[in-house]
Structure 1
Amino acid sequence: MAYQDAWRVCHPDVKRPFSSLEDACERLLPYHVVADYEAEEDDRILDSDTTGQMPSRSQQWDFNIAAKVAEFTGTFEKQALAFNIITASGFG
């Protein structure tokens, strides 16, 4: 059943408007397979923080993006260095 729902999510009917409430429910319900239940739990934890010590969801997002940018930058720099070494030794 989850496989069928995942297939329907990956192949949505976007050419036809919803014809009824039942049609909308039938076509939107399969999106449960892409729900982020951990995010809902994170929201409950953040909402229960009365100390103000936990970063907000947007602060967590910013931190995660900055970490990914740093990771990709490091990988790119290593690849550029390897490329430069290979091309220098091959043409030098």
Structure 2
Amino acid sequence: MNLNMSWNNLIGSIPPSLSRLQKLTNLDLQVNNLTGQIPDSFGAMDALLELQLGKNRLSGVIRSLRTKLQIALNLNFEGPTPDSLKRLDALEVSDLSNNRFT
């Protein structure tokens, strides 16, 4: 199942309730005005294979993410590279531009 809500001028935080969509394989929320952090509950989305969150104003800590994931996080994260990204051993594609990882 795919959910593409990119380019919709969405404002506010990402609703943790999206993680209830357990059959969701692709989530595209790029190019909105989303703020806050990626919900911790996204780590429980076992079917999620592609997560597109670029070009928003998200920040904070990236916690648990699945190991088989294509990810675009050209956001505004800063600090050390999150351990959860280091554990993505089956990662195929990633775009981590426009961050301030150390």
Going by fraction, where is helix more abundant, 1 or 2?
A: 1
Q: Which has the larger radius of gyration?
A: 1
TM-score band by shorter chain is under 0.3
TM-score (norm 2): 0.20
Going by fraction, where is strand more abundant, 1 or 2?
A: 2
TM-score (norm 1): 0.21
